Structure 1
């Protein structure tokens, strides 16, 4: 199992701010998240799939 990524790590990968990532999450347009004890985390495979889905 891959380690889950933090919002800070994902924001760095995507080159966006953490508040932007939060807005995307609330709008349902960002990468899929899981909650662990109320904390948002990202699965690396889901993030990669989401990024591929953003291609035009």
Structure 2
């Protein structure tokens, strides 16, 4: 099973600020997050790794 990451975890993985990760999401850039009702946005670790490479 793929690990789901928070915006904080994604920002650390990519060495950017959390606000940048959220801006990418709002602008339709970067990896597409999964919306989990009652929890919030999560990003697939494998999708982040693919996006990096």
TM over 0.5: yes
Number of equivalences: 52
Structure label with greater radius of gyration: 1
Alpha-carbon RMSD across the aligned residues, in angstroms, is 1.1
SS in 2 for 1:12: helix
Structure 1: which 5+ residue stretches go unaligned? none
Name 1:10's counterpart in structure 2: 10
When the two structures are superposed, what TM-score results if normalisation uses the length of structure 2? 0.86
Query: Which consecutive segments of 4 or more residues in structure 1 shift more than 4 A?
Result: none
When the two structures are superposed, what TM-score results if normalisation uses the length of structure 1? 0.82
Q: Which has the higher strand share?
A: 2
Structure 2: which 5+ residue stretches go unaligned? none
